[in-house]
Each structure stands twice: as C-alpha cells, then as structure tokens.
Structure 1
Amino acid sequence: MPELTAEPRRADPGAGARARVPAAVYAVSGVSALGGLLFGYDTGIISGALLHLREDLHLTSREQEIVVSVILLGAMAGALLSGRLAVRHGRRRIVVAVAVVFAVGAAAAAVAPGVGTLIAARFVLGLAVGGASNVVPVYIAEVAPARIRGRLMVLFQLMVATGQLIAYLCGWALSGEGGWRVMFALAVLPAVALGVGMLFLPESPRWLIERGMTDRARQVLTRLRPAGTDVGREIREIAEVAARVPAGGWRDLRQRWVRPALLIAVGIAAFSQLTGINAVVYYAPTILVDAGFGDSVALLTGVGIGVMLVVAGVVGAVAVDRVGRRSTMLWFLPGSALAMAVMALAFLGAGGSAAQRWTVIVALFAYILFNGVGMQAVVWLIGPEILPLSVRGPATSLATVTVWGVDLLIAVTALTAIETIGRSGTFFVYALMNVACIVFVLAKVPETRGRSLESIERALRRGGTFRKALDGS
C-alpha cells in the first residue's frame, strides 16, 4: 500500500509500495461496520415479518403502514441526535450506545404484546439505525488511511446489503406462525457483538486531537498506520485544521465556504433515494405480480434483490478506490437510468407476454446492480470525506436525515404515484431522477480518491469552484 501522507500524490511510490496497512485498521472497520449489518437487517426484516405479525396482532392496513414506516421516523431522529452526541462524547462511545439501543429495540419488538408496543420498539430501532448510518461512516473515515478509506467505508454499505440479504433469507425460512418474533430477536446477537467489539477499539484520532488529547491520538495513529509512516506529520495536519476553526454547531453550516461541501453531501443523500432504489426494494413483489409472475416467485424476489445488493457492494468497494468516487457514479448511473427506463417501457405493453415479464425482471435486477454500485456504494462515503472537521457532526447529521426523510417520502408516495400516473409514468420519473443525478455529479462533485481529509478541507477553504480547486491541487 502507498505510504500515507497528507498529500498522497507527493508520496514516495517506492516506500509506499512496501508499506502494509496494519491488520488493526481492518479490525476497526470490520467491527464498526457491524452497525451496517444491523441497519440492513432491521430495515429489511419487516417485509417477511409483516406477513404473519399482521395476523397475530390483528393489524389494520393503516397500522401496517405505521409499523413499516415508523423506523424511518426514528432514523431521522437518531441521525440528528447522534451527530451532536458524537461531537461531544466521541465517535466510539456513541457507536457503543447505538449497539445497546439496537439490542433493546430488537428485544422489545420480539416480545411486543400489541401494536402500540411494536410501534414503539420499531421507533427505538430507528433511533439506532439513524445513529449507525450517521456515526459509523464518520468513524471509519477518520481512522482509515486515505489510500484505502474508500473501500473500508463502502464496507459499511456492503454490510447493509448483507444485513438485508440475511433478513430476506430469515423472512423466507421463518415464515411460519410466530416466526416473526424470532426474526426480530435474532438482531440482538450482532448488536451484542458490535457493542462488545467497540469496547476494544480506539477513539477517532481526529476527535482526540480536536479535544487536545494529542498523545492518545499519536498512540492510535501509530497502531493504525503502516510502519514508517510520518505520524507526527499527520498529527500536525489534523491539528492545523482543527485549530483553525473550533468545533461548530448548526449555525456554522451557514458559513459560505462550507456550502459547496454541504450541497454535495445533501444532494447525493437526496438522489440516493430519488433515483428509486427503495421504491423498487419495498414494492418489488407487487411489481412482479403485476408483471404476471406467480406468488412463489414474488416471495423469492427479496432474496434476489439482497443478492444483487451484496454483489453491488463488492463491486462498489473495489470501484471507489480503483476508479474513484465521481467516476464510479458517472460510469454506473447511466445504466441505472437505462434499466429504470426499460422497466417503464415494458409496463407500457399490454397483455403480459412472457417476453414482457422477463424484460421487467431482468431490468429490475440490472437496476439494483447499477444503482447499488453507482449510488448506494457512494452515499455513505462522500459526506464524511468532504465535510469539514469543525462541522462534520451536524453536517453529517443533516445529510443522513436527508437520506431518511426522502426515503420516507418515497415510501409513502410510491403506490400513490403508481395509482395516479401508472407504473410506466412512475418509473419514467425515477429514470429522469437518475439523469438529473448524473448532471449534478458532473457539475458539482469532485474526485476525492486518495486525498487526505485535510487536503480536501484545504481545497474547500480556497473558495471558488470546489471541484476545480480539489482536482487542481
């Protein structure tokens, strides 16, 4: 691996090629990314659990909608709360707290005697999901060497996809009466593993330096950097950035120099949902039934989607560091737009022929793959990378809330849109959102591959066009 310096392009290539990233870096990222596994499992398990819990608890249609969507409301609240707590108490402590909340919420959902208790438990799970989606990517970004930061952060998204796949498999395997309680209870195990594992991991060195604990930060960086790395230089780089502007709050997001990074982080967060991923994931069984497939195929659709999301996560983990964040989006989003447009065109046909049905299913999985690589692999990576250290907590919270807020919007409007403008019209709108996202990336998003967080912030502070300032530095 290349030697880590504040300016990767100026590193000595010979020395860098001989340097090995310590195993501790991968341990830190692996354990913390368990938060992603829980995120994916707890958001995905409801699709299988709902089939039987609605009968056991005698849920009305409205109550079913609340049970499904309340976790998204909790996630918005959790993202807002966790950002400020992470600034005050540190990234590591908040991830431990998130693990505890995951365990409590999962256990409460498993033993819920009625709909009110279940809704409350799902809201608690949402708090943990929002906290994990907000703090874990920031923690990984701040401990990882610049050269491999992308693949380690995409590990979080890969674990989200893995959690969803496990949820779909559990939903299929435990589909009998009362199985939904076991589905919810199983989430306690990875929550305990996350909490215990985080107790043995270090705090973010950037947070430590910001709090004046330079000696502890030096110990952490020495443990997490390749032998021969100039740790002192990295500490000076971090301290310089941290000293320039003290840790800020929500008001500091209005600073003019912060706006380009905030626009990119919030814009990518919004497009990650507006491009249609969760509309397809939430309602894929309905889409397939309408395309003429039988119920048995519809029941296995979630498993297929989970597999494609895992494949997309693996491809994305490689792509973001091999070809770059911006390039990954520009390479794969056109395929996402095309696949969504093909689905829209397929639904224009009448009669439901075999060719039409297979066109829908192939386009569906192609869309999941292309969008999973081009957008979902980047959404949790780009914000923590480009947002300045002084406002990283509240700014990342805002971006995460945007993800969950737009996700909620899509969840409660997708079926209404289909009823209003039809399936073809709805999918054409999502296809256009993919095109709009491509235009946004071309105009605003810089390439951050291989850049230290400090060099990214320096480019942001120069003023002018952020993308050109970073690309030219």
Structure 2
Amino acid sequence: MESVPGVNRRFARSVAAVAALGGLLFGYDTGIVSGGLLFIRDEFRLSALGEGVVVSSLLVGAVAGSLVSGRLADRYGRRAVLLGTAAVFAAGALLAGLAPDETVLVLGRFVLGLAIGPASAVVPLYIAEMVPADRRGALVNCNQLMITIGIVVSYAVGFAFAPVQGWRWMLGLAAVPAALLGAGMLLLPETPRSLIRRHPGRAEAVLRSIHGKPDVTAELAEIRAADERSRAEIATRGVLRDRSVRPMLVVGVGLAVFSQIAGVNTIIYFAPSVLAGSGFGASGSILAQVGVGVINVLVTVLAMVLIDRMGRRPMVITAFAGMGAAMLLLGLVYLLPAHGGAVAWFALVCMAGYIGFFAFGVGAVLWVLISEIYPPRVRGAAVGLATMAHWLANFVVALTFPVLIAAAGATATFWIFAVACAAATVFCVRLVPETKRRSLEEISATGPTGRTVEP
C-alpha cells in the first residue's frame, strides 16, 4: 500500500524533519550533561554517587514519561503528545539552567526526562505512521540522526562554554529547539492511523496529503481493516496478556534493554571523565568528545542509506559484535603502565569505534523496529513499554557507572559491558525479525516472522 507510485515524498520528508526535532532535544539533553558535569560537580561538591544522581535524575523522569506516553498517544493522538512534550522540554531546560543548588538541578533534569520519555517513544511512532513503507527505515531514522546531531551540538556548546564554566548556559539553551518543535508540530496533522477511529474524514484528508492523490479509498480501507482486526484480537486482553503480542514484546523490550546495558551512555554521559582519566585535560576531553559525536552523525547517515536495503537484522547483529570488541579493547587501556600520549589516543579510538558500531546498527534499528512490530490497537502502549524499559536500563547504568568504576576499576567495568554486548549479539541472532519493505498493516496481519528476510 505505502510503496505505490504517487506517494507524496516531499510531504513525508517534511513530516520526518519537523517531528525529529524531538530527537534533537533527546540528543542535546542527554549529551549536554557530560560537559557540564565537569563544572557542576565542583560547584556543588558532588560525590561519585551525587554525579550519578544528577545524571540519572533525567532518566527517572524518562521512565515515568515513557510509562504513560504510549497510552496518552493512543488516547489523544501522537501530535497532541508531541505538542505537550515541547512545552515540558522548555520548562525543564529553564529550570535546570537556573538551578541555585543540586536539588533544583535534579528536579529540572527530572522534568526534562518527563519530556524525553514521550519524545523517544512517540516521535518514531509518529513518523512511522506518516511515511511510505519502502522509505520508513530511512525516514524514521531522521529521528536517530537528529539525536546524534543533538549530541554533537551539546558537545560543541559544552566546549564553547567550558572556558567560562558556563554549565547553566549549556543546560538552558535546550529551550530554543523545544520552541521550534512546538511551532513545527502546530503545522503538522495527526496520523491517519490515530484518526481512523475518532475522525475518519480527517484520516482520509491526511492520507491524501501523504499519497498526493485524491482517491485513497484502498489505503483507508486497509488501515480500517487492520484497526478492526487488532481491536477484535485485543478487546478482552491486556497488552501483556496477549499471546500474539508477547513475542514482539520480548523483542522490543529485550532490544531496548540491551541497547543500554551494552554501555553506550557511559560514553555519551561520562566520556570527558573517562578521557580525562586516560590523559586528556578537561577542555581537551570535551573537544575529543566532539569528534566522537561527529563520527556518530556520519555513521548514522550511512545507516539511513543502508537500512532499507541491508535490513534491520544484519545491521544490529554486526553492531553489537563490534561494540563488544571495542569495549574489550577500551578495558585494556587501563591495564597499560602509563596514561597520556598514545594511550590516551588509543582510548579515544576505542570510544569512536564503539560509537560508530552503535550508530550503524543499534541506534539505527532500535526505534525503527519497535515502531513497526506491534498491532495498531496496542502500538502506542507497547512502544511505551519498550521505551520505559530502555530508560529504566539507562537509569541503572548511569547511576551505577561512577560507583562501579570507582569500586571495580575501569578495566572490569568496560569488560562487563563487553559481556553484555556478546549476550545482545546472541539475542539478536535468535530473536530479532526482519521487517524491511513491509507495510505496517502487513506486519500487523502476519506478524514479524522472526528470521524471514524479505527479498
């Protein structure tokens, strides 16, 4: 249905670009703390646990926000949730930037998390329901691309304000893209799959915009049939109790958890601290992290080109295997007799390699796959559940990493993440399905078929 000639690709690209501003905020607000933390911990005299609390308070909010985001998106629509998310983003950024003490800073980052949770769940869901199947992987990955750009922007802003220790400006500037997201969403429509039950006439009008043609009877009928079929299947059963949904929940939740316990956010949140420990100074560590962020963006662009050709499954398997190797080598850095010079650069190369593999597979595939594999009636709730698991695992890693590295040492800590990457590789080989070039209605009707790879 969605890959027929006549699809309005310009409209689809516009939808993806505006909605993905939520990804920019996601990336900026998760990345900016890494540079600011070097100065926040001195001003507020934070302990290792205090650093973990400042970083992970955002993640507590993200868990709470993602817990309710799916049901809110199913009840009120994807667009309404994203409009509310933009307002919460702006409020949290200003509160964190103006924080007079550690308590208010933690509160501000918690409020930011309340926005990041829904953004991470609903932005890819919104894009997936508004774009053609043969380009869905690439266009949903506009969200991931904007996440990586947001992270790079946060690193650059951190470097710019490092000489004046301007961590308040680093945090507060997130209010600007939040305003842009709100303005952009006011110009976009609700998705036809969200409108089909409440406003079928408006759903038809949006489909005309998406497909660029006046007659969308067949497309409308297919969406309506998929919705009715899903409603009949789930009518008397909850998401967690439905046996037909359960295997997909295992895939979505499992992939979300593995994406975090593999250690990616130890690089995003704590890279300057890690690099400083390997021989870089404070400003040098932040600048080096900008380079890592640029690699993240460039490899994400490559992944966008390949995901609808190569497929989701081989990319994510390759990614976890490469991430594990990079973590293994990074752990070896701290067994070397001296830090600085070549050793510091080797640590940077390991981190860059890790981020490159992550961007190629896990970053590119995670949000695409979990926006594709669920039936329409439970899609919002199921995506919200997977997103909550993602942020809960993220919280655990962010809170414990400073304590773990102080207690067990850098080598043991990074090797633990290497083991997690190995386990994730096995999980993906056994369970992750291929969904490329299949419409959402087709996936809903037949289910993601495990190892089936479309020709």
Smaller-chain TM-score bracket: over 0.9
Pair 1:37 & 2:24 matched: yes
- Of residues 266-275 and 48-57 in structure 1, the stretch that sits farther from structure 2 once superposed is 48-57
Q: Is the 8 A contact 2:49 2:402 kept in 1?
A: no
2:279 matched to 1:286? Answer: no
Per the TM alignment, residue 281 of structure 1 is displaced from its structure 2 partner at its CA by: 2.5
Equivalent residue for 2:85, pick from 92, 98, 101:
98
| Unmatched 5+ stretches in structure 2 | none
Aligned pairs for 1:44-123 (under 5 A) are 44-56=31-43, 62-123=49-110
Paired letter, 2:39 = H
Q: Which residue of 2 aligns with 1:466?
A: 449
The answer for the alignment partner of 1:234 in structure 2 is: 219
Corresponding residue to 1:379 among 347, 352, 366? 366
Per-residue deviation, 1:59: 5.2
The reply on whether 1:258 has 2:221 as its aligned counterpart is no
| Counterpart position of 1:277 | 264
| Pairing partner for 1:218 from 204, 217, 233 | 204
User: Greater shift after overlay, 322-331 or 130-139?
Assistant: 322-331
Name whichever of 242-251 and 280-289 sits farther off.
242-251
CA distance in 1, matches of 2:41, 2:276: 21
Q: CA deviation at 1:55?
A: 4.8
SS at match of 1:467: coil
Q: State the Cα deviation string for residues 202-234 of structure 1 (Å, max 9, x = none).
A: 1011011133x2221111011012558x73222
Q: Which runs of 5+ in 1 are unaligned?
A: none
TM-score, normalised by the number of residues in structure 2: 0.92
Distance (Å, rounded) in 2 between the aligned partners of 1:52 and 1:123:
20
- Write out aligned runs for 1:49-448 (5 A): 49-56=36-43, 62-177=49-164, 179-211=166-198, 213-227=199-213, 231-246=216-231, 251-352=238-339, 354-448=341-435
Number of aligned residues? 453
How far the C-alpha of 1:63 sits from its partner, in A, is 4.1
Contact 1:260 / 1:466 at 8 angstroms: preserved in 2? Answer: no
Contact 2:312 2:436 in 1 (8 A): yes
> In structure 2, do the counterparts of structure 1 residues 431 and 87 end up closer, same or farther at CA, with 3 Å as the change threshold?
same
Return the offset for 1:280.
Answer: 2.4
Q: Secondary structure at the match of 1:254?
A: coil
Give how far 1:287 is off: 2.8
Distance (whole Å) between structure 1 residues aligned to residue 236 and residue 173 of structure 2: 37
Aligned CA distance change for structure 1 residues 176 and 339 (closer, same or farther; 3 Å): closer
Contact map agreement 1:105 1:121 (CA 8 A) in 2: yes
Q: Please, which moves more after superposition, 86-95 or 312-321?
A: 312-321
CA contact (8 A) 1:265 1:399 kept: yes
Identity of aligned residues (%): 42
* More displaced 10-residue stretch of structure 1: 437-446 or 337-346: 337-346
Deviates more, 1:268-277 or 1:303-312: 303-312
Aligned counterparts of 2:236 and 2:162: Cα–Cα separation in 1:
46
